[in-house]
Amino acid sequence: MTNSTILDELLWRELIAQSTDLGALQAAADAGPMTLYCGFDPTAPSLHLGNLAQILTVRRFQQAGHRPLALVGGATGLIGDPKMTGERQLNPREIVEDWVSRIRGQLESFYDFSGTNAAVMVNNYDWTEGVSVLEFLRDIGKHFSVNRMLDREAVAARLAKEGISYTEFSYQLLQSFDYLQLFRQFGCTLQTGGSDQWGNITAGVDLIRRVESASVHALTTPLLTKADGTKFGKTESGTIWLDPGLTSPYAFFQFWLNADDRDVPTLLRTFSFSPRPRIEELLSATIERPHERAAQRALAQELTALVHGEAEQRAAESAGLALFGQGDLAALPAAALTAALLEAPNGVVDAGEIVDGALPAVEDLLVRCGLASSRGQARRTVGEGGAYLNNERVANEGHIPMLGDLLHGEWLVLRRGKRTVGGIRLEQ
């Protein structure tokens, strides 16, 4: 991709929600490499899928020859951007510092920090810490209209309900100050973010115009929601995090694999780096052969490899196939098997229940892991040939698994029919 095609790329991917002046931004991109930034506040120990959409938008700019500044909000994270639902809880400084370190490590894996357009990691605490209150109010606060700040959607919503603290109300000034400092220090002329950040981003554009008499740019991407109206990146079990300790690579892979067909066009355009012909091919496959889930699997493979590495992607995919009878369970690494079964209904067998190496009968285990509501239903499942133990059909009622059946000495994999999987774990 060349400098002159980046906006065309974003447009066909439907990744531009708002822009201060798209024509002027195109002219700036045509004139040569730009420096841009997108900020991420440490409001949790990990970034999530909503953040990933922003990260990858900046990555596209870097691949087009532009220079990204990866900003972690060590200062703004101590304050918190106003939410429409209520006041944020202020986290202790040491927690914020730890989360800054974690998020910095995550961002480092997505950008190239070498070459002529090498990314630069920045922390807004570095230029905010030493500024006095009087200096900030005189040099920065003077340029802000309270009337305009009150018009911001989140602020207006809060004022209509419980009110808002001055701390959160001042957040817009801090984010604008970031853009001003990055303009001064790095020549940054573009800030990107989600469309919910439009007010904050354009406030920074206006501050630079007032203080430096310079014209800079703003661009936002659409906020992602699923076809069923629920928030993107959320499941019944919670947020999909980028940290493998919070969302396992298996669960991450399964999120993409299980995506609704209606969401596939948006997900491909937003997250995939595949060229347009390949994306159009996958979209056609979703319409013509939806049962194959070709687009979902392609997304799962690409994004899991991007976020967690190719080895974890292969392990996650192998675990999914093996659990449903399409692979060798015994060949799965213990960590991959455990991560997969912790995402499925599961139960335990206490070591004290084992007599002469024998575990409880399969019918009892089916009930324990939630694959049957009663022993009677479990017996019927076995009798109809629909019960599987470690991918082997259970032929007889009352079948007794043995210690030797435990995978990695810890797990039994149970399945009812083709698609319903559960696990039993030996509790030592």
31-63: per-residue pLDDT in tens? 999 999 999 999 999 999 999 999 999 999 999
* Global confidence as pTM: 0.90
In angstroms, the CA 24 to CA 355 distance is: 77
- Cβ–Cβ contacts within 10 Å for residue 212, how many? 12
- Read off the pLDDT band of 419 (50, 70, 90): confident
In angstroms, the CA 235 to CA 237 distance is: 5
Q: Does one domain contain both 144 and 14?
A: yes
- Residue 24 within any structural domain of the chain: yes
- Final residue of a structural domain among 203, 221, 239: 221
Non-local (6+) Cβ contacts of 403 within 8 A are 354, 357, 358, 359, 409
C-alpha count within 13 angstroms, C-beta hemisphere, residue 394: 30
Q: Does one domain contain both 285 and 422?
A: no
Q: Does one domain contain both 253 and 217?
A: no
- Helix, strand, coil percentages in the chain from 3-state DSSP, rounded to 5: 50, 15, 35
Per-chain mean pLDDT for the chain: 93
3-state SS assignment for residue 177: helix
State the DSSP string of 374-401: SHHHHHHHHHTT-EEETTEE--STT---
Q: How many residues does the chain have?
A: 428
Predicted confidence at residue 125, as pLDDT, reads 97
- Provide the domain count of the chain: 3
Structure tokens at 235: 């499941």
Q: Does one domain contain both 54 and 194?
A: yes
Beta carbons of 359 and 349 less than 8 angstroms apart: yes
C-alpha count within 13 angstroms, C-beta hemisphere, residue 68: 27
Q: Does one domain contain both 317 and 251?
A: yes
Beta carbons of 371 and 420 less than 8 angstroms apart: yes
Predicted confidence at residue 158, as pLDDT, reads 82
Predicted confidence at residue 157, as pLDDT, reads 82
- Final residue of a structural domain among 221, 246, 279: 221
Mean pLDDT, residues 267-273:
97
Mean pLDDT, residues 371-378:
94
pLDDT in tens, 382-407: 999 999 999 999 999 999 999 999 99
3-state SS, one letter per residue, for 85-142: CCCCCCCCHHHHHHHHHHHHHHHHCCCCCCCCCCCEEEECHHHHCCCCHHHHHHHCHH
In angstroms, the CA 78 to CA 93 distance is: 7
Predicted confidence at residue 3, as pLDDT, reads 42
Angle between helices 276-288 and 294-308 (to 10 degrees): 130
Q: Does one domain contain both 67 and 199?
A: yes
Identify the CATH number of the domain in which residue 414 sits: 3.10.290.10
Beta carbons of 313 and 303 less than 8 angstroms apart: no
- Final residue of a structural domain among 188, 205, 221: 221
Beta carbons of 80 and 170 less than 8 angstroms apart: no
Pairing state between β 387-389 and 346-350: unpaired
pLDDT at 252 over 70: yes
pLDDT at 150 over 50: yes
User: Phi and psi of 317, rounded to 5°?
Assistant: -70, -40
pLDDT at 1 over 70: no
Predicted confidence at residue 373, as pLDDT, reads 94
Q: Does one domain contain both 71 and 177?
A: yes
Provide the residue range defining the domain that includes 424: 344-428
In angstroms, the CA 76 to CA 81 distance is: 8
Would the CA dihedral through 427, 425, 237, 193 be positive or negative?
positive
- Residue 129 within any structural domain of the chain: yes
Q: Does one domain contain both 72 and 39?
A: yes
Identify the CATH number of the domain in which residue 211 sits: 3.40.50.620
- Read off the pLDDT band of 221 (50, 70, 90): very high
Mean pLDDT, residues 299-318:
96
Q: Does one domain contain both 298 and 181?
A: no
Q: Does one domain contain both 258 and 215?
A: no
